[in-house]
Structure 1
Amino acid sequence: MALKISFQSNGSKFMAKPCEGLQDFPGRKEWEDANRISLMDNELCTLPEFLHCHNLSTLLLQRNNGLIAIPKFFFQSMRSLRVLDLHGTGIESLPSSISNLICLRGLYLNSCTHLIQLPPNIRALDRLELLDIRGTKLNLLQIGSLIWLKCLRISSNFFIGICTQRKLGNISSFVSLEEFCVDDDLSVEWRYKASEIVMEVATLPFKLTSLKFCFPTMHFLQFFVQTSPAWKKKCFSFQFSVGYQDSTYSSILESSSDYPSYNSLKLVNGEGWHPVIKHVLKVTNAFGLINHKGVSALSNFGTNNMKNMHVCLVDGCNEIRVIINGCTSGKRVLENLKILYINNVPKLRSIWQGFVPDGSLAQLTTLTLTKCPELKRIFSSGMIQRLPRLQHLRVEECYQIEEIIMVSENHGLNVDALPRLKTLVLIDLPKLRSIWVDDSLEWPSLQRIKISMCYMLKRLPFNNANAAKLRFIEGQELWWKALVWKDDAVKQRLKFLCILN
């Protein structure tokens, strides 16, 4: 619709042909008067020698993997270009005609894994504000002249080799930086050079409003918090990692980053408690605890420090037995948490131990539990009444689970429990016997259930009146045939919703 409106507008022309399998660049008549061109996700291997587009402001060529070279004079006539996206292409260098892009504001070269050099006249781009070179082979010396950048995104290997050639002393020269992003890294070289790099980052100018960075240890994070003038700003946002691992879980922590200033903290392969965690956690929206030792509960980090938490990931923490352990103050806990993802926690016995204060978990929409072989209780006493917004529940490879909603923990359960639950996924739960003891719950929002390798589950908690919005039941045919029904009419009703394999 946006393209259709643009075609009807005076003074603007778009050429958009993404994902069409194009191997050749379109003909001149299609692009010569264009304001914006998008040929992303095609199979282009070559570009025209010239592209006479005096009015062109946006050129999107990203993820044309076979594009390995850009003709020498390709950018000669693009003086109005403001956005150039070449990320995910196979280019090794940029032509000298890049200096003609005197109005360029954003240059995306990320994931150009073969890119090893930029032309010296790159410094002519004195209006460039955003440069993304993550996943390239470029280094600091090649972009050091672009000191007016407002946003710089790099990988941590960007520094490797530079420190040995001369003192780093360059990042702080980008005096206009507002956003600085350094992707996570596992390399040994990064650890050895971390002290110099952290010192540089801590002295970045007061203009900095956003930082993504991996600190080797808590000591380095503490140094940054105590030293950086940017940290003290109210408008400062961050994505911090402490420790080393890949970025597997970054997408989980960023999945709800729909806020103007979204802060995340990842602790990886750490141990115990450090005072600086308190200061950072208080302003953290997404928290990841990965392969951490020396804590038996998430609440060891202080429930008062988790008021702003929206997303929480706990993975590979072998000593954690409970997520929240007791609450004697009566104050609400995790009142803003929306997503709770627990994976590979071998000693976890329950999510909540003790009293659940009113207002706790009131915003929780997604609960995922995987590979917790000792977990016996999901909804402990009083907890299920605190989940008015829960929409998605997934339980997988939790071998001790016998009941999803335990009768012993939920006496007198209201029929409108879990009023917004939409999806229920149960996979590889060999001892599971019951979702709920009978068909008394209304399940007013339930739309989809998926059950796999739960052969002890012989009954479903549905009748002809409840779960009115249920549309899909995915499962195995052998499991379905073994189900026991109280009423054959219920079986016939649900049979039409089945997707069996």
Structure 2
Amino acid sequence: MVVTYLKNSSLLLDSGKELCVRMHDVVRDTTMKIALSEDGHGFFVKAGRSLEDWPRQLQEGYSAVSLMGNEIRTLPEELVCPKLQVLLLQDNCHIEKFPEAFFQSSNELRVLNLSNTCILLLPQSFSLLANLQVLHLDDLKIITDISMLGKLKKLEILSMRESHIGEFPKEIGDLTNLRMLDLTGGHIVTIPSKVFSKLHKLEELYMQCGFWDWGSEVEGGGGETNAGFDELTSLPYLRVLKVWISHANCIPKNVELNPNWVEFDICIGRDDETVVSQYCYNSVCLTLDTAISTLPDWFVFVVINKAEKLEWVECKGLIDFCVEYEHRRLDRLKYLSIIGCDENLKELMSTTTWVPKEPVFENLEDLHLSRVDFMKELCLGDLPQGSLFSLKLLEVDSCYNWGNILLPSKLLQRVRNLETLICNDVDGMEYVFGCEGFEPEKSKLIDLSLRSLNAVRSICNGPAPPAMFQTLKVVSIEQCSFVGSLFSYEAAQCLYQLEDLSVGSCPLLERVIEANKETMNKKKTIFPKLKNLVLMRLPMLYSGSATIDFECPLLECLYLKDCSQFLSSTSASDFHSRKNVQFNDEQHYLSLWERMWGDII
């Protein structure tokens, strides 16, 4: 709320990064002048100045000092700033040691940031920071002893993201005023039991780090155990929880009172540290390697029923999502991802054993399926009107036993708001859309990406409805077995929003637009908004006497490569563009490719 207000007042600016803001230089300078004029308290800011030495002009009267992003190597024996409340020294990677008396006179310090320095030990005077409320020790490669932090009784925010801690000290449990603890991405092997249960005021806990084996016996610890997950369920003020759990068995079967976690990102069964880069801010996320039926009832009520993002990874026991939906467990889902599953999951949903009376997955916006090798179709049976109504993105990747149609007509009628369809490496699929009996008034499909489809014959299994492709802006096709033409003549007439068309490595493709009596009469289709056209590795394209059968008046980039049957005299002028066309510009092509396919080359 405060940040939003400051943005609306133009005192802060968007940074383009998650959880970050910018401040205009004029606002910053004005703020510092105001601070200097009030009671002699001022700000000393020399951030990012490549300073190697501690600034001599730093006087006793300053209340805030920022020396972040410099190359300072040595520090004074004692920091004599009795009024200092804020000290920012982060990103001084040459600082390796603090003099023991450095903080001797810093009793008023409230905020301290020592992130991304090379310190190994905290100085003895650190324990004298009795009024410290905010401490950042992020990105410290090795820090051997942080037990003295337990003496900072007023500490409310402690962040040690990406720091190598090893054994978490039991003294942290003495920080009874702590409201936020962030250990994200840190290397933590053991956490003594009963540490978390003492942090009664804790509101936010971020623990997607090297620790996930809750309640396990400490190796070589003489029977001692790590902190148990039940310690977190008993914290009365905890509202934000982001944590890894090695196994569902770590979750207690019963709790005295249900927690009230309003924001969470809980990962069960994942010990892959790459998950750290996939933080889920301001959301309710869950990653599972087990079926919902194996989880305690309280956990289902507190977490599953609230989840908006759900990801199943290498899960056994998944059979039918409609079974879970029958109990209204998943009706808040906006994002669903399934990565790997066993042979029981033949279809995502089935209405043959349970016929839903109300819409299912009506709030789902993103659906991702990857390596679901035994799945043959998305839905068996008919879904009620309104089901999948909000679906905007569908991605199917690396599925090797799919049926002959990705989206049959009955399912196509339900996903009327689909905007992006990505289909990669799906064996057995002959058609993307089943169009029989399907006559939509309008479509919202914007982006169609097809790659490595070795059985596909055509985009549609029949005549495409006129409204089917009216909103398409991007079509990307690579390594597919399309036979003959890509679009029928009638469908091509509806591509008046198309901006990017890329077709490559389709050995049987002969034409972009199907030949009929209109094209035989040399009537050309016009793509009025097409800007980028890529045709490459198409050995049969426009072979023989066939000529280019479409025009692109706004074409800006044309890339033709390895189309051996294509007319050798083809040039940008054949597409009748009114623009200055970049022809076979490698840099522009690579930029376009990255936008369409990401890092896939």
TM-score with structure 1 setting the length: 0.78
Is 1:440 aligned to residue 466 of structure 2? yes
Residues 493 and 448 (structure 1), Cα distance of their counterparts in 2 relative to 1, 3 Å cut = same
Q: CA deviation at 1:26?
A: 8.5
Q: Which residue of 2 aligns with 1:478?
A: 536
Aligned position for 1:265: 286
Contact 2:229 2:252 in 1 (8 A): no
Q: Greater helix percent: which structure?
A: 1
Mapped pair 1:92 → 2:120: yes
Aligned pair partner of 1:413 in 439, 458, 466: 439
Sort the Cα spacing of 1:249 and 1:431 in 2 relative to 1 into closer, same or farther, 3 A.
farther
Matched, 1:489 2:550: yes
8 Å contact from structure 2 (residues 96, 120) kept in 1: yes
Aligned to 2:497: 468
Correspondence for 1:182 among 173, 196, 207 = 207
Structure with greater contact order relative to length (CA < 8 Å, sep ≥ 6): 1
Please report how far the alpha carbon of residue 442 of structure 1 lies from its aligned counterpart in structure 2 after TM superposition. Answer: 5.8
Partner residue of 1:459? 486
Native 8 Å contact 1:364 1:390 kept in 2: yes
Distance 1:313 1:23 in 2: 48
What's the secondary structure of 2:459's corresponding residue?
coil
Any conservation in 2 of the 1:169–1:200 contact (CA below 8 Å)?
no
CA distance in 1, matches of 2:296, 2:451: 39
Residue 115 of structure 1 aligns with which residue?
143
The CA deviation string for residues 209-268 of structure 1, in whole angstroms up to 9 with x for no partner, is: 233344444344242xx2153x344x644333333432445665x55x44xxx3322222
The structure with the larger Rg is: 2
Which of residues 330, 342, 347 is equivalent to 1:306?
330
Question: Which residue number corresponds to residue 583 of structure 2?
Answer: none
Amino acid at match of 2:478: S
Q: Which region of structure 1 is more displaced relative to structure 2, 145-154 or 71-80?
A: 71-80
Of 290, 293, 297, the match for 2:320: 297
Instruction: Return the offset for 1:301.
Output: 2.8
Letter in 2 for 1:212: K
- Of 214-223 and 300-309, deviating more is 214-223
Return the offset for 1:126.
3.1
Query: Deviation of residue 129 (structure 1)?
Result: 0.9
Contact 1:451-1:474 within 8 A present in 2 as well: yes
Counterpart residue type for residue 281 of structure 1:
I
Is 1:285 the counterpart of 2:311? The answer is: no
> 1:405 and 1:360 mapped to 2: Cα distance?
18
Cα 1:136–1:378 shift into 2, 3 Å: same
More strand by share: 2
What is the match of residue 317 of structure 1? 341
Instruction: Report what 1:386 is aligned to.
Output: 414
Partner residue of 1:143? 172
Shift in Å at residue 46 of structure 1?
Answer: 2.6
State the alpha-carbon separation in 2 of the partners of residues 227 and 486 from structure 1.
Answer: 73
User: Is contact 1:473–1:497 with CA below 8 Å preserved after alignment?
Assistant: no
Contact kept, 8 Å, 1:366 with 1:392, in 2: the verdict is yes
Gaps of 5+ in 1: none
The answer to whether the aligner puts 1:399 opposite 2:419 as a matched pair is: no
Structure 2 residues not aligned, in runs of 5+: 1-12, 14-22, 36-42, 219-223, 506-534, 560-587, 591-601
| Identity among equivalent pairs (%) | 20
> Which deviates more, 28-37 or 130-139?
28-37
- The question of whether the paired residues in 2 share the 8 Å contact of 1:184 and 1:214 is answered with yes
Q: CA deviation at 1:78?
A: 5.9
Change over 3 Å in CA distance of 1:460–1:130 after alignment to 2:
farther
Q: Secondary structure at the match of 1:382?
A: helix
How far apart are 1:315 and its partner, in Å? 1.0
CA shift at 1:351, angstroms? Answer: 1.8
Amino acid at match of 2:466: S
Cα separation, 2, equivalents of 1:468 and 1:102: 64
Aligned runs of 1:193-212 on 2, under 5 Å? 197-198=227-228, 201-202=231-232, 204-212=234-242
CA contact (8 A) 1:184 1:244 kept: no
CA contact (8 A) 1:271 1:292 kept: no
Give the match's secondary structure for 1:428: strand
- For 1:343, the aligned partner's letter is S
Instruction: Give, as a single letter, the amino acid of the residue that structure 1 aligns with 2:482.
Output: M
For the residues of structure 2 that align with 1:25 and 1:426, how far apart are their CA atoms?
57
After superposition, what is the alpha-carbon deviation per residue over 1:395-420, rounded to whole angstroms, capped at 9, x for unaligned? 2221223322233xx53332622x1x
Conservation of the 8 A alpha-carbon contact between 2:212 and 2:271: no
Query: Do 2:367 and 2:393's aligned partners in 1 also have CA atoms closer than 8 Å?
Result: yes
**2:487 is equivalent to residue 429 of structure 1:** no
**Residue 342 of structure 1: aligned partner:** 369
Deviations 1:117-154, CA, capped at 9 Å, x for gaps = 1363x345333211123542251234233222112234
C-alpha distance in 2 between matches for 1:100 and 1:342 = 54
Q: Please list, as runs of the form range in 1=range in 2, the aligned pairs for 1:8-87 lying within 5 A after superposition.
A: 8-9=30-31, 10-12=33-35, 15=45, 22=50, 24=52, 35=64, 37=66, 39-40=68-69, 44=71, 46=73, 48-49=75-76, 57=86, 59=88, 61-62=90-91, 67-72=95-100, 82-87=110-115
Q: Secondary structure at the match of 1:335?
A: coil
Q: Secondary structure at the match of 2:369?
A: strand
Q: Is the 8 A contact 1:309 1:337 kept in 2?
A: yes
Give the secondary-structure state (helix, strand or coil) at the position aligned to 1:309.
coil
Give the counterpart of 1:352 among 369, 373, 379: 379
Instruction: Say whether the 8 Å CA contact 1:140–1:159 is kept in structure 2.
Output: no
447-456 or 466-475, larger mean C-alpha shift:
466-475
Residues 445 and 59 of structure 1: CA distance in aligned 2, closer, same or farther (over 3 Å): farther
Q: Tell me how far apart the structure 2 counterparts of residues 86 and 23 of structure 1 sit (CA, whole Å).
A: 16
TM-score under structure 2 length normalisation:
0.67
Distance 1:28 1:481 in 2: 72
1:347 deviates by 0.9
SS at match of 1:431: coil
- Partner residue in 2 for 1:363: 390
What are the equivalent positions in structure 2 for 1:177-256 lying under 5 Å apart? 177-183=202-208, 185=210, 191-192=216-217, 197-198=227-228, 201-202=231-232, 204-223=234-253, 226-229=254-257, 231-233=258-260, 236-249=262-275, 254-255=279-280
* Match for residue 126 of structure 1 among 144, 148, 153: 153
Shift of 1:344: 1.4
Contact 1:352–1:380, Cα closer than 8 Å, also in 2: no
Give 1:70 shift. Answer: 4.3
Aligned residues: 477
Distance 1:84-1:186 versus aligned 2 partners, 3 A rule = closer
How far residue 99 of structure 1 moved from its aligned partner, in angstroms, is: 4.3
Give, in whole Å, the separation in 2 of the partners of 1:39 and 1:399.
Answer: 54
Amino acid at match of 2:173: G
Contact 1:313 1:342 in 2 (8 A): yes
